[in-house]
Amino acid sequence: MRRRVSGTAAPGSSSPSDLRRGGPALAVPFGIVAALGLVTVLLPPYSSPWWVAGLAAVMLALVVALYVASRRRPERSWLDPMPAYLLFPYAALVNDAAGAGSGGSSSGMTVLILIPILWIAITGTRHQLWIASGLAVATLVAPVLLIGPPEYTLGDWRRALMWGAVALIIAPVLQRIVRDLERQSRRARVSNERVEKLFDDAPHGVALLDPSGSIIRVNISMAVLVGLDPPDMVGHRLADFETPGETRIEDHLGRLMLYRGESLQSECNFRDSGGNDVHVSLSSTVVGDAQMGEIIMVNVVDISDRRRYLDRLAHLADHDVLTGLANRRRFESELDRHLDRCRRHGPTGALLLLDLDNFKQVNDTLGHNAGDQLLVTIAGLLRRSIRSTDVVARLGGDEFAVLLTDCEQSDAARVAELVVERIATHAATLDGVARRVTASVGAVTFRAAAEHAADVLALADMTMYDAKEAGRNQVVVLSEGDERGPRTAARLQWQSRIEAALAEDRFELHLQPIMDIGTGRISSAEVLLRLRDEGELVPPSRFVYIAERVGLMPQVDAWVVDKSLELLARMRRDHDPSFEFEVNLSGHSIGNPDIERAIVDSLTTHGVDPSALILEITETAAVADVALARTFAGRMTELGCAFALDDFGAGFGSFYYLKHLFFDYVKIDGEFVAHVHESAVDRTIMRSIVGIARDLGKRTVAEFVSEPEILEVCREEGVDFAQGYLIGKPVPFDQFVLEFMPSAIGSAPNE
- Cα atoms found within 13 Å of the Cα of residue 597, Cβ hemisphere only: 5
Q: What's the one-letter identity of residue 40?
A: T
**CB–CB of 458/546 below 8 Å?**
yes
- List the single range of 428-432, 562-566, 685-689 with lowest mean pLDDT: 428-432
Mean predicted confidence (pLDDT) in 114-135: 79
List CB contacts of 709: < 8 A, sequence separation 6 or more.
677
Count of Cβ atoms closer than 10 Å to residue 186 Cβ: 13
List CB contacts of 677: < 8 A, sequence separation 6 or more.
683, 707, 709, 710, 712, 713
pLDDT exceeds 90 at position 435: no
Mean predicted confidence (pLDDT) in 533-542: 80
pLDDT exceeds 90 at position 158: no
Tell how far CA 261 is from the center of its chain. Answer: 27
Mean predicted confidence (pLDDT) in 607-628: 75
Q: What's the one-letter identity of residue 439?
A: A
Distance in angstroms (rounded) separating the CA atoms of residues 418 and 435? 18
**CB–CB of 57/34 below 8 Å?**
no
What is the predicted pLDDT for the residue at 751? 34
| Range among 317-326, 611-620, 649-658 with highest mean pLDDT value | 317-326
pLDDT confidence of 99, banded at 50, 70, 90? low
Radius of gyration of the chain (CA): 46
Distance in angstroms (rounded) separating the CA atoms of residues 690 and 702? 10
pLDDT exceeds 50 at position 749: no
Helices (H), 346-485: 359-366, 368-384, 409-428, 446-452, 456-469
Mean predicted confidence (pLDDT) in 647-656: 56
**CB–CB of 565/602 below 8 Å?**
yes
pLDDT confidence of 89, banded at 50, 70, 90? confident
Question: Pseudo-torsion of CA 556, 560, 561, 563, nearest 10°?
Answer: 130
Question: Pseudo-torsion of CA 479, 485, 490, 495, nearest 10°?
Answer: 130
Mean predicted confidence (pLDDT) in 671-683: 90
What is the predicted pLDDT for the residue at 585? 87
pLDDT confidence of 86, banded at 50, 70, 90? confident
What is the predicted pLDDT for the residue at 105? 43
- List the single range of 120-124, 231-235, 569-573, 646-650 with lowest mean pLDDT: 646-650
What is the predicted pLDDT for the residue at 102? 47
Burial 401-419 (b: 16+ CB within 10 A, else e): bbbbbebebeebbebbeeb
* Average pLDDT in the chain: 81
What is the predicted pLDDT for the residue at 403? 95
Q: What are phi and psi of 575, to 5 degrees?
A: -135, -50
Angle between helices 154-165 and 126-146 (to 10 degrees): 180
- List the single range of 154-163, 576-585, 638-647, 709-718 with lowest mean pLDDT: 154-163
Instruction: Quote the pTM value.
Output: 0.43
Look up residue 748 and give its DSSP letter. Answer: -
Sheet of strand 293-302, all strands in order from the earlier edge strand to the far edge = 215-218, 205-209, 293-302, 277-289, 264-271
**CB–CB of 575/604 below 8 Å?**
no
Look up residue 488 and give its DSSP letter. Answer: G
pLDDT exceeds 80 at position 440: yes
| Range among 26-30, 179-183, 401-405, 669-673 with highest mean pLDDT value | 401-405
Distance in angstroms (rounded) separating the CA atoms of residues 438 and 445? 23
Identify the structural domains of the chain with CATH numbers, from first to last: 16-196 (no CATH), 203-302 (3.30.450.20), 310-492 (3.30.70.270), 498-744 (3.20.20.450)
Share of the chain above pLDDT 70, in %: 83
What is the predicted pLDDT for the residue at 149? 65
Q: Which is it for strands 475-478 and 580-584: parallel, antiparallel or unpaired? A: unpaired
Q: What is residue 246's three-state secondary structure?
A: coil
Name the β-bridge partners of 643: 615
Peptide bond preceding 150 in cis form (omega within 30 of 0): yes
What is the predicted pLDDT for the residue at 320? 86
pLDDT confidence of 650, banded at 50, 70, 90? low
Mean predicted confidence (pLDDT) in 724-739: 93
Please classify residue 133 by burial: count the beta carbons closer than 10 Å to its beta carbon, then call 0-12 exposed, 13-18 middle and 19+ buried. Answer: buried
pLDDT confidence of 291, banded at 50, 70, 90? low
pLDDT exceeds 90 at position 563: yes
What is the predicted pLDDT for the residue at 360? 81
pLDDT exceeds 90 at position 404: yes
Mean predicted confidence (pLDDT) in 344-367: 87
